[in-house]
Structure 1
Amino acid sequence: MERIRTTVIAFALFACASGAGAVERPSDRIRRDSPKGITEAFYACIDEAKFSDIDKAYCVSQERERQDRRLNASYQALLHKLDGDRKKNVIEAERAWLKWQDKTSQVESALYGSELMGNLEVTENEAFALCRQANQLDEYLALANEL
């Protein structure tokens, strides 16, 4: 009987210790839903912001800027690898994507509203869209490097 009691107590302590280490950070939810390429600096910033919406807005806007720079760098690198119709097609596709992204942001702004939390969601979606597009251009660049 004493052995069973000791085993149960040990199991309970192990379960508590395991649960204690599983505290979710503020960035964990975002990390699960974000595309590959979102920076660790963004997640660290979100964790430091904790529950301050103004600090989170700063983190999101900084990541949007980083992803925009990354997208532009990927686009320029890809254009330098292409010529003729390939280059023309990429330029046209990117212009179409920019128009689509602009309209998407307008729709989201109308749906989420103009309050801080709505703006935060729209800006985060923009950062993620820029990241996904940069990822796509990076894939194209890898293909272009093989030409």
Structure 2
Amino acid sequence: MKRTFRAIAIALAVFVHCVAVQADESTGQLIRREAPKGITAAFFACIDKASSDRIAIAACHSDEQAKQDARLNKTYKALLARLGAREKESLVGAQRTWLELQTRSSVFEEALYGDEPISGMQVKLNGIFRLCERANVLEKYLSIAKDQ
């Protein structure tokens, strides 16, 4: 009984500490902890400025999505220019598969998260993170292709 009470007390103390730490962090800082390398600092600043204004948050998401999409497309084109015919064909196929996965992941997340506005924002953020992660991968491939 004493062990159970002690475990509950420790768990409660850890929970209260985590809530207190998160209360000191801005939304941008919380998102930054989960974000892949490559998400712009302007995005985090925009999210903090938007506070709880859903329209402003949606604008932040749209701006960052456009930046990540442009980054991905620029890198993709640069990589294609460095590859031979066989590698180009393979990359195009991989990119088409990735696009299909992106679409299917979004559809699944929309069903999983539901119809609440906050859920839609999470689905959008997940999509932005996937764009960024794919751009990161393509940049890595480009650096390898440049070394050859």
| TM value normalised by structure 1 | 0.81
Once the two structures are TM-superposed, the CA of residue 64 in structure 1 deviates from its matched residue by 1.2
Match of 2:53 in 1: 52
Identity of aligned residues (%): 44
Partner Cα separation in structure 1 for residue 115 and residue 63 of structure 2: 19
Superposed CA deviations along residues 32-76 of structure 1, whole A, max 9, x for unmatched, are 000000001101101101122222122112111111111111111
- Greater Cα shift, 44-53 or 109-118: 109-118
Q: Given the alignment of the two structures, is residue 92 of structure 1 paired with residue 93 of structure 2, yes or no?
A: yes
Count of residue correspondences: 126
Partner Cα distance (1:72, 1:80) in 2: 12
Using the TM superposition, give the Cα deviation of residue 83 of structure 1 relative to its aligned residue in structure 2, in angstroms: 1.4
Larger radius of gyration: 1
CA distance in 1, matches of 2:86, 2:115: 42
**SS of residue paired to 2:128:** helix
Q: Residue 106 of structure 1 corresponds to which residue in structure 2?
A: 107
Residues 1:142 and 2:143 are matched in the alignment? yes
For residue 24 of structure 1, report the CA deviation from its aligned partner. Answer: 1.7
Q: Secondary structure at the match of 1:38?
A: coil
Which residue does the alignment assign to 1:28? 29
Asked whether 1:65 is paired with 2:45, we answer: no
Which residue pairs with 1:43 in the alignment? Answer: 44
- Tell me, in whole angstroms, the C-alpha distance in 1 between the residues paired with 2:41 and 2:136: 16
1:118 aligns with 2:126: no
Output the CA distance in 2 between the equivalents of 1:65 and 1:125. Answer: 14
Partner of 1:4: none
Matches within 5 A, 1:74-89: 74-89=75-90
Runs of 4+, deviation exceeding 3 Å: none
5+ residue gaps in structure 2?
1-22
Runs of 5+ unmatched residues, structure 1: 1-21
| RMSD of aligned Cα (Å) | 1.3
